[in-house]
Amino acid sequence: MAEITLVEAVRLALARAMEEDESVLVLGEDVGVDGGVFRATDGLIRRFGPDRVRDTPLAEAVIAGVSVGLAVQGFRPVAEIQFMGFIYPTMDQMVNHAARFRNRTRGRLTCPMVLRAPYGGGIHAPEHHSESNEAMFAHMPGLRVVIPSSPARAYGLMLAAVRDPDPVVFLEPKRIYRAIKEEVADDGSEQPLDTCFVLREGTDVTLVTWGAMSVETLAAAEALAETEISAEVIDVATLKPLDMATILASVEKTGRCVIVHEAALTGGFGGEIAARLAEHGLMSLLAPVQRVTGHDIVMPLPRLEDQYMPGTDRVVAAARRAVEFA
Amino acid sequence: MAVASEAGGRSKSAGGRKRKASSAKPKATREELLHFYEQMLRIRRFEEKAGQLYGMGLIGGFCHLYIGQEAVVVGMQSVLEPQDTIITTYRDHGHMIACDMDPKGVMAELTGRIGGYSKGKGGSMHMFSKEKNFYGGHGIVGANVSLGTGLGFAHKYKEDGGVCLTYFGDGAANQGQVYESFNMAALWKLPVIYIIENNKYGMGTAVKRASATTDLYQRGAAHGIPGRHVDGMDVLAVREAGRKAVDSARAGDGPVILEMETYRYRGHSMSDPAKYRSKEEVSKMRQEHDPIDHLKQQLLEQKHIDEAGLKEIDKEIKAVVNEAAEFAQNSPEPDPSELYTDVLVEA
Ligand SMILES: Cc1ncc(C[n+]2csc(CCOP(=O)(O)OP(=O)(O)O)c2C)c(N)n1
Ligand SMILES: [Mg+2]
């Protein structure tokens, strides 16, 4: 078994999916000859040919719309948007069409497509190359929103996303595209699209996160352990539909919760988790839910970026506050 | 490369016209030629320096150099009046230098310093100058075409006699909103010049692999927008085509499309493995079509200046660029409190 990075795991899963199902097509700007801006599709065109791996013109709205058209005919398109900041023109198609075919046709037509995009900051890129707007998609009924946090998770979740009968928005944390290496078996086994994963068990506080922030959150748990605070870390992985049972079970045990995401605070997905804790877990809570997030500002370049990104220190401090509260 | 050919026109059909080279050489005075030379060289030296600073790790974000395309922006700038507006993409340093923005402020923005045009928070793609009527630097490919159409609408509404130059690339020319813009601009006869800088590639994708028809100057034909194909490596050809286009838009005849055939020598951005073209192709363009060399040859042949004079110009430009680089490295980094400013108006 080889040790691979997250971006390599995405590629491995795409190749596997294309190998096992001829209806899987890959399309997007520069995904073919160039192999994608982050090389996520590198080599696929050589292996599967330009019919199945398509360099499209520069036209995001149509990339999404064409994918919907293909998908309702039984294809399984995997479309790449180069950066999440370019995803907005696709929202019309994703929200008004991809997300609603099943509903409008009362299940007679489905839309088994994947819209992939690298997302998130911390790579010293300008604003629209750094944003994390997962909550905008999670808000829309009819879409799954999936965010892997490690190579193995990326492989398993991507395979599940391609095989899923409904549209999946698959957001890849580009800051850790190459930061972590892990052994990943290319055995075609998928990971569930409706489950939060417990990355580390603990008893005093639950740290809930997803994507690249899992790195800082795990580091925070490590630091907290040195001061005798035992933190449980949950990787949400699939934001929609949300596996609240796993989060509630954890908070029942710890009584405290810190939610960590790099997207802006207001309207961020952390708010949804906090609201559900208030609705269904109030009696378990010993302390107010804490959120450690990005600020309600435009992502700044490049010298202030470190100030924007929630760091391990802020996670540790929030967990301490929760523990000291009660 | 052909000098200019025409397409469209309100009464004529545009389809299927062949490009034809015009034989008459546009004329220019010694002063004009020297000015163009100086302007183009200034952009090139600025970009070379920016490339160096990027290599030294001093520039964050992305950095898209304009080297090779200088004649386009310099030729177009020469036909403008003070009230005219300019808007372009992320490959914008040349446009800013051409419209006389301070190289210090541009370079300091690249290095993310407080002395930059956007206080170091915008970077290479996002700079603006209200005084110079430069409306950005925009990173979303194709989106600035709608914005430029709006700038043109404002000129028309205010009756200020202004024209908006809206620059975009061959790749951008395939975005849907470009055509929505064309239709609106033609319908309302907006004074907009759509300048397609066809440098043969959109990132790693050659024009012919992305565009069903590659004569991009004909892209407005369905809306009756006249289009011209221009040798974008020849500053005088650009000026000639630019003058006609601007005059007609200013006179109230509506938008014009100018397809500038040009070439970028460097990668798409500073991190570009360039698997999509050969080294030979690039060096052939540099050797045979370089806009600066071409003008230099003319200047020398016509005895407007000698080698020593040219050296002197280069020396002066290098001094300006070095000063900009110094400034960009010494200007302070923005204070963390800057994080929270300029999101909404402050109470
Ligand atoms: C909406 C959008 N999609 C994709 C990108 C990524 N991207 C940046 S530049 C570029 C190529 C644009 O090519 P072209 O319009 O020819 O301009 P050039 O870079 O050649 O000047 C791409 C795909 C982007 N910035 N915005
Ligand atoms: Mg181009």
- Which chain B residue is nearest to residue A34, measuring alpha carbons? B204
Which of A87, A304, A314 to mutate to test binding with chain B, by most B CBs within 10 Å of its CB?
A304
A125 located within any domain: yes
Token reading at B131: 């005084």
A191 located within any domain: no
**A280 given a catalytic annotation:** no
Cβ contact (<8 Å) for A308 and B275?
Answer: no
Say which residue, B43 or A326, is predicted with more confidence.
Answer: B43
| Least-confidence region, from A19-28, A293-302, B182-191, B200-209 | A293-302
Residues A46 and A121 in one domain: yes
Residues A129 and A169 in one domain: yes
d(CA B81, CA B246): 10
Residues A205 and A131 in one domain: no
One pLDDT digit (tens) per residue for chain B, 347 residues: 444 455 544 333 333 344 444 456 678 999 999 999 999 999 999 999 999 999 999 998 889 999 999 999 999 999 999 999 999 999 999 999 999 999 999 999 999 999 999 999 999 999 999 999 999 999 999 999 999 999 999 999 999 999 999 999 999 999 999 999 999 999 999 999 999 999 999 999 999 999 999 999 999 999 999 999 999 999 999 999 999 999 999 999 999 999 999 999 999 998 887 888 999 999 999 999 999 999 999 999 999 999 999 999 999 999 999 999 999 999 999 999 998 999 999 87
Ligand 1 first shell, C-beta below 6 A: A 29, 58, 60, 82, 86; B 91, 139-141, 169-172, 199, 201-203, 268
d(CA A50, CA A27): 10
pLDDT digits (tens, 9 = 90+) for A279-288: 999 999 999 9
A220 located within any domain: yes
Mean of the per-residue pLDDT values of chain A? 97
- Closest CA relative to residue A263, chosen from A169, A138, A156: A138
d(CA A221, CA A315): 9
Q: Count other Cβ atoms within 10 Å, centred on residue A88.
A: 16
Say which residue the tokens 């050797």 belong to. B287
Residue B67 phi, psi dihedral angles, 5° rounding: -55, 125
Token reading at B109: 């923005």
Describe the crossing of helices A213-226 and A312-325 by its angle, rounded to 10 degrees.
50
Average pLDDT over residues A66-86: 97
**A173: Cβ contacts below 8 Å, ≥ 6 apart:** A6, A118, A119, A120, A147, A148, A149, A211, A212
Residues of A whose CB is below 8 A from B125 = 126
Q: Count other Cβ atoms within 10 Å, centred on residue B115.
A: 19
Which of B53, B91, B175 to mutate to test binding with chain A, by most A CBs within 10 Å of its CB?
B175
pLDDT of residue B10: 39
Under the banding of pLDDT at 50, 70 and 90, the label for residue A157 is very high
Residues of A whose CB is below 8 A from B120 = 301, 303-304
CB-count exposure of residue B204 (10 Å: 0-12, 13-18, 19+): buried
Residues A176 and A206 in one domain: no
pLDDT of residue A301: 82
Token reading at A302: 């490049």
Indicate the CATH number of B29-50+60-91+134-317 among 3.40.50.970, 3.90.870.10, 3.40.50.10800, 3.65.10.10. Answer: 3.40.50.970
Pairing of strands A3-4, A182-183: antiparallel
Q: ipTM above 0.85?
A: yes
Distance from CA of B221 to the nearest CA of A (A): 20
d(CA B25, CA A106): 68
Say which residue, A306 or B325, is predicted with more confidence.
Answer: B325
pLDDT of residue B12: 37
Residues A175 and A229 in one domain: no
Say which residue, B55 or A125, is predicted with more confidence.
Answer: B55
- Closest CA relative to residue B94, chosen from B60, B52, B63, B59: B63
Token reading at A199: 């990355």
Pairing of strands A257-264, B192-198: unpaired
Which of these is catalytic: A129, A139, A261, A280?
A129
Question: How many domains is chain A partitioned into structurally?
Answer: 2
Residues A61 and A144 in one domain: yes
d(CA B271, CA B181): 32
* DSSP line for B18-54: PP----SPPP--HHHHHHHHHHHHHHHHHHHHHHHHH
pLDDT of residue B6: 54
Radius of gyration of chain B (CA): 20
Which residue, of A122, A157, A184, is where some domain finishes? A184
Q: 3-class SS at B61?
A: coil
Residues A11 and A129 in one domain: yes
Distance from CA of A124 to the nearest CA of B (A): 5
Say which residue the tokens 């036209």 belong to. A59
d(CA B7, CA B9): 6
A189 located within any domain: no
Token reading at A84: 């999440």
Token reading at A44: 């696929």
Distance from CA of B47 to the nearest CA of A (A): 19
Q: What is the dihedral sign for C-alpha B97, B103, B105, B109?
A: positive
Q: What is the dihedral sign for C-alpha B205, B210, B211, B217?
A: negative
Residues A131 and A154 in one domain: yes
Q: What is the dihedral sign for C-alpha B79, B85, B90, B96?
A: positive
* Residue to probe by mutation, ligand 1, list B73, B93, B141, most atoms within 8 Å of CB: B141
Residues A10 and A140 in one domain: yes
Residue B332 phi, psi dihedral angles, 5° rounding: -65, 155
CB A6 within 8 A of CB A151: yes
pLDDT digits (tens, 9 = 90+) for A250-262: 999 999 999 999 9
pLDDT of residue A1: 76
* CATH (domain of A251): 3.40.50.920
Give the domain range for residue A35. Answer: 2-184
CB A180 within 8 A of CB A151: yes
Residues of A whose CB is below 8 A from B216 = none
* CATH (domain of A107): 3.40.50.970
CA of B221 to the centre of ligand 1 (A): 24
pLDDT of residue B274: 81
CA of B97 to the centre of ligand 1 (A): 21
CB B181 within 8 A of CB B244: no
Residue A71 CA neighbour count, 13 Å, CB half: 34
Around ion ligand 2, which residues have CB less than 5 A away? B 169-170, 199, 202
d(CA A40, CA A177): 9
Which residue, of A154, A184, A214, is where some domain finishes? A184
pLDDT of residue B346: 84
3-state secondary structure B208-247: HHHCCCCCHHHCCHHHCCCEEEEECCCHHHHHHHHHHHHH
pLDDT of residue B14: 37
A166 located within any domain: yes
Residue B268 phi, psi dihedral angles, 5° rounding: -55, -50
Is the pLDDT score of A205 beyond 70?
A: yes
d(CA A157, CA A146): 8
Is the pLDDT score of A266 beyond 70?
A: yes
Residues A170 and A212 in one domain: no
